[in-house]
Chains A and B, each alone.
Chain A
Amino acid sequence: MAKNITVALAGNPNSGKTTVFNNLTGARQHVGNWPGVTVEKKEGGFGHRGYNINVVDLPGVYSLTAYSPDEVVARNFILKEEPDVVVDIVDASNLERNLYLAVQLLELGAKVIIALNMMDVAESRKYKINVKELSRLMGMPVVPMVASHNKGTEDLRGTIVDVVEGKVPADGAYLEYGKDVEGEISRLEGVIASSPLARRYSPRWLAIKLLERDEEIVGMVKEGAHV
């Protein structure tokens, strides 16, 4: 029997998530709704190398803080549904801003593939992107694409399965925040490690979010403290 894989598509607004979604799933998509939140989610599927791959198109976000409902939806899906792979659709013509989200996904502990979309726009702006080096620095696979012309779709399908099968590492590079912040992170990590929350979420990620004064996480930790 075919194995099921869940893939989440994340990315900045207007980076081509839905185009990639349509390329991946073809005509087999249907539209669904998140309970309670007025943000639309699309779901679809395709088969590849003996896997049933379920694709979830998440709302476009700049980051995974708890600033807006769409950010919370995107974050909670990745945290609570734990998709096998997160594909971060990155606008290659706007790397700097887009990679910020990639770093946030990596800190969440997700397995991330960077789909480097709009390579044609980047080239027309005379940008030269060293895909291999980017992949090495980020610690995740990078697939160059031109989704509007359906280029790179097969590569992305293959890379998704490669990551699931453990053939390609996608755990991400370790990001250091410097001596002062790291000191605080490890102090908090030590406290969190003994709490039941640590079984569900990475203590390091919780510590970073607490330092950011992330409302949702602060609330969750406070609640957890009473248990």
Chain B
Amino acid sequence: MMPLSMASRGETVRVASIRAGWGFQRRLADMGLTPGTQITIVNCQRPGPVVLGLRGSRLVLGHGVAHKIMVTEV
């Protein structure tokens, strides 16, 4: 298990847990990011946001947020 911010471009991972308060967890869930979701990392170059592919759409997060999402390799 590792933070999403450590994953590399092109990698596919699965969300294991989200280390944040319920309000933020809820916000991510609203956008389809829930534990168990499979994610492909489209881009994670610094500086710049983390671009993810999930559930057939794209989601853009900051590195700080990505650091709170724990993932496992698929």
Contact = CB atoms under 8 A, between A and B. Distances in A.
B56 to A, nearest CB: 5
B27 A67 contact: yes
Interface in B1-49: 22-23, 26-27, 30-32
A97 B23 contact: no
Nearest to A66: B23
A190 to B, nearest CB: 25
Contacts, number: 28
B31 A212 contact: no
A65 interface: yes
Interface residues of A, number: 13
Contacts of A212: 26
A71 to B, nearest CB: 9
A213 B24 CA distance: 13
Interface in A59-94: 62-63, 65, 67, 91, 93-94
B55 A96 contact: yes
Interface string A172-215: 00000000000000000000000000000000000000001100
B42 to A, nearest CB: 16
B37 to A, nearest CB: 10
Contacts of B22: 213
A116 B31 CA distance: 19
Nearest to A215: B23
A96 B30 contact: no
Contacts of A62: 30-31
B26 A93 contact: no
B32 to A, nearest CB: 4
B30 A63 contact: yes
A65 B56 CA distance: 23
A97 B23 CA distance: 18
Contacts of A100: 30, 32
Contacts of B32: 96-97, 100
Contact of A67 (B26, B55, B57): B26
A212 B25 CA distance: 12
A97 B31 contact: yes
Given A62-B30, A97-B55, A97-B56, 11 more contacts: A65-B26, A67-B23, A67-B27, A67-B30, A91-B57, A94-B56, A94-B57, A96-B32, A96-B55, A96-B56, A97-B31
17 contacts: A62-B30, A62-B31, A65-B26, A65-B27, A65-B30, A67-B26, A91-B57, A93-B56, A94-B56, A94-B57, A96-B32, A97-B55, A97-B56, A100-B30, A100-B32, A125-B56, A213-B22
The 3 closest A-B pairs by CB, nearest first: A63-B30, A62-B30, A97-B32
